[in-house]
Amino acid sequence: EPSGGSERAVDKDRQLDSVRKDSQGALSTNTGTRVDDTDNALQAGERGPTLMEDFHFREKITHFDHERIPERVVHARGAGAYGYFQPYASLSHYTRAHFLSDPSVRTPVFVRFSTVAGSRGSADTVRDVRGFATKFYTAEGNFDLVGNNIPVFFIQDGIKFPDFVHAVKPEPHNEIPQAQSAHDTLWDFVGLQPETMHMMMWLMSDRSLPRSYRMMQGFGVHTFRLVDAQGRATFVKFHWRPLLGTHSLVWDETQKIAGKDPDYNRRDLWEAIERGQYPEYELGMQLIPESDEFAFDFDLLDATKLLPEEQVPVTPVGKMVLDRNPDNFFAETEQVAFHTAHVVPGIDFTNDPLLQARNFSYLDTQLIRLGGPNFQQLPVNTPLAEVHNNQRDGYGQHRIHRGQTSYFDNSLASGCPYLASSQGDGAYTHYQERVDGVKIRKRSESFHDHYSQATLFYNSLADWEREHLVAAFQFELGKCEHTHVRERVVARLNNVDHGLATRVANGVGVQPPAEESTPNNGRSSPALSQANTTMDT
């Protein structure tokens, strides 16, 4: 039975207490033997060779030699913090998730903010998407909301993700540029894959230059499902809104700050929490009845589209407060493992092909990044909910499983307790969506409009925001060496807005397009609400 009340928020801290260590006391080896000298290796005579026998020397150097693990393949640079989440009211008419059903329950969280393209040591204030990943340590298991600060994504199907990331990352022959969108491979990909266009508009806007992680929105991006106790589902889009408002830097500032303080965003988060100015974010939901699945002029399963707030407003449902810095960057912020498939009863997926790919990718990458199958036992990942199963052994196994049996079904273990608790009300049951179809590699027609929402985004910007966006396109695309790449991107932009394409063309030295293009069959693009696109001033 999940325990309620604010007590739970401190449970993660209590759990972590058992592994917190201070480097105090007498110096010892890892096997507890006291060490007499750590500055001079054991050697044969004052000027002689070092002796193999020096177990302390060997252990110290060997451990150091193995200190590094692979950085994340994307989102390598990040900053994390602990805190708690509390719903304003019960959402039990939408979801059976316990942590959303009882306003007295404070659920501990760990959040990691990140840039995407740069390596672990790159600068914070680059033009890039920002990750906003939240792990809720709920009484029913960990729920991870692995989002970004932009509500849409570059591609529609996760099978393109390796191609996309290869195009974004520093180029393979010279590893240039670090964390910049100003290079040929990115723009080549963008020109050849028009589904990127909506996201590229956001990326070239000030949204990709957040002033602070405390002043940044977060979005789950995909359409997920909430499922209530009766098995009824509601589509949902998740939103985080910072209580300090959404603010960005301007391009000129970002470049200077990247030189003067590459840790700008990371430091700001750390220092604010140390000062007791705890960052706060309101969780909001766009709730869509299943009966409205086809009510929109885009597909809810298409992650390159947002759901305009005029059509479905965001309902505020709860608040998250980040009130504690991690004790150790590596142990916590580096080793945390988020995964879109970490869900709890009452939260389910949709067939969004990007989400489906993510549901495979995160565990797969963590198996190599975190060295084998037991990384959920790392303190930052350990759920507060109890873990019982027959998974055994593997590198880094910390549990000491007792008993004769490690298989199911068995008649030898008395009572087989995990079985009883894995059934009944508390168990995760997948939403019974009807699925049938032929096996094909083909994108639905409903995913084919790549421009309407890009236009909608452009139309919704204030004049000064447009100026920044045009300047960004000119700067970033202008760095491309290949004329045909610049020309193709300008041609794509002409499908978004003729004036925009003309201005960008003039800034990057290619022929402006002759006339307006209407790839969207004259579909109208209502102006978006301020809440969707415009920064707070």
Q: Which residues form the interface with ligand HEM (CB under 6 A)?
A: 72-75, 78, 112, 114, 131, 133, 146-148, 153, 158, 161, 221, 303, 336-338, 354, 357-358, 361-362, 365-366, 369
Question: Minimum distance between the CB of residue 7 and ligand HEM, rounded to whole angstroms?
Answer: 28
Q: Which of 56, 75, 183, 339 is catalytic?
A: 75
- Of 184, 64, 22, 165, nearest in space to 508 by CA: 184
C-alpha closest to that of 226 among 353, 350, 355: 350
Report in angstroms how near the CB of residue 163 gets to ligand HEM at its nearest: 11
CB of 265 to ligand HEM, least distance (A): 14
Q: What is the DSSP string of 187-253?
A: HHHHHH-GGGHHHHHHHTSGGGSBS-GGG--EE--S-EEEE-TTS-EEEEEEEEEETT---B--HHH
Nearest approach, Cβ of residue 515 and ligand HEM (Å): 35
- CB atoms under 10 Å from CB of 374, counted, come to 18
Looking at the Cβ atoms of 8 and 160, the one nearer to ligand HEM is: 160
Known active-site residue 75: yes
**Quick one: 101 or 325, whose CB is closer to ligand HEM?**
325
Separation CA 285–CA 318 (nearest Å):
10
**Based on CB atoms, which residue is closest to ligand HEM, 222 or 503?**
222
Q: Is the peptide bond before 177 cis (omega within 30 degrees of 0)?
A: yes
Shortest distance in whole angstroms from residue 301 CB to ligand HEM? 12
Identify residue 490 by its one-letter amino acid code: V
Distance of CA 287 to the CA centre of its chain: 21
Place of tokens 């009883």: 420
Q: How far is CA 144 from CA 6, 135, 141, 238, 381, in A?
A: 20, 4, 10, 12, 11
Name the β-bridge partners of 83: 109, 322
Distance CA 281, CA 459 (A): 27
Question: Of 106 and 112, which CB lies nearer to ligand HEM in the complex structure?
Answer: 112
Q: What are phi and psi of 59, to 5 degrees?
A: -65, -45
98 vs 358 by CB, closer to ligand HEM = 358
Q: CB-wise, 247 or 369, nearer to ligand HEM?
A: 369
DSSP assignment, residue 330?
I
Which stretches of 52-184 are assigned E, i.e. beta strand?
Answer: 78-87, 107-115, 130-138, 141-148
Q: How far is the CB of 70 from ligand HEM (least distance, A)?
A: 8
Tokens of 24: 């105090």
Q: Catalytic pick from 142, 148, 325, 532? A: 148
Q: How far is the CB of 112 from ligand HEM (least distance, A)?
A: 3
Quote the least distance from Cβ 132 to ligand HEM, whole Å. 6
Q: Which is nearer to ligand HEM, 42 or 357 (CB)?
A: 357
* Residues 288/223, Cβ–Cβ less than 8 Å: yes
Cis peptide before 144 (omega within 30 of 0): no
- Cβ nearer to ligand HEM, comparing 123 with 336: 336
Q: Which residue has the tokens 């054991």?
A: 42
Whether 453 contacts 298, CB under 8 Å:
yes
Query: How far apart are CB 77 and ligand HEM at their closest, in Å?
Result: 10
Considering the complex, state which of residue 272 and residue 354 has its C-beta at the smaller distance from ligand HEM: 354
DSSP 34: B
Could you tell me which of 384, 306, 290 has the C-alpha nearest to residue 344? 384
Query: Nearest approach, Cβ of 373 to ligand HEM (angstroms)?
Result: 14
- Residue 531: strand, helix, or coil: helix
Q: Is 149 a catalytic residue?
A: no
At 143, is the secondary structure helix, strand, or coil?
Answer: strand
Distances (CA, A) of 491 to 91, 432, 450, 500: 46, 44, 13, 11
Element (H, E) at 285: strand 280-289
Which residue is closest to ligand HEM by CB? 131
CB nearer to ligand HEM: give 108 or 513. 108
Which residues are catalytically annotated? 75, 148
